[in-house]
Structure 1
Amino acid sequence: VLVLDKGLVVEFDSPSVLLKKKGSVFYSMAKDAGLVS
């Protein structure tokens, strides 16, 4: 997964790795979408 913020790459890794990083942008988006608690 490639995560962009304001046109810049901020994260790039597999979803499982990014979901383990609770401070990641990807985790935050998944949490906002109700995919993680």
Structure 2
Amino acid sequence: VIVLDKGRIIEFDSPDVLLQKPTSAFYSMAKDAGLA
């Protein structure tokens, strides 16, 4: 997964790894969507 912010890559890793990091932007988006 690549996470972009204003056109810049801010994170790049597998979904499993990013979901294990509560400070990641991907985790935050998944939580907001009710997936984490």
Shorter-normalised TM range: over 0.9
Cα RMSD for the two superposed structures: 0.3
Unaligned runs of 5+ in 2: none
Alignment size in residue pairs: 36
TM-score by length of 1: 0.95
Q: How does 1:1-37 map to 2 (within 5 A)?
A: 1-36=1-36
Q: Percent identity?
A: 72
TM-score by length of 2: 0.97
Q: Secondary structure at the match of 1:23?
A: coil
Which residue identity is paired with 1:20? Q
Q: What per-residue deviation string (whole Å, max 9, x for no partner) do you get for residues 1-31 of structure 1?
A: 0000000000000000000000000000000
Misfit runs of 4+, over 2 Å? none
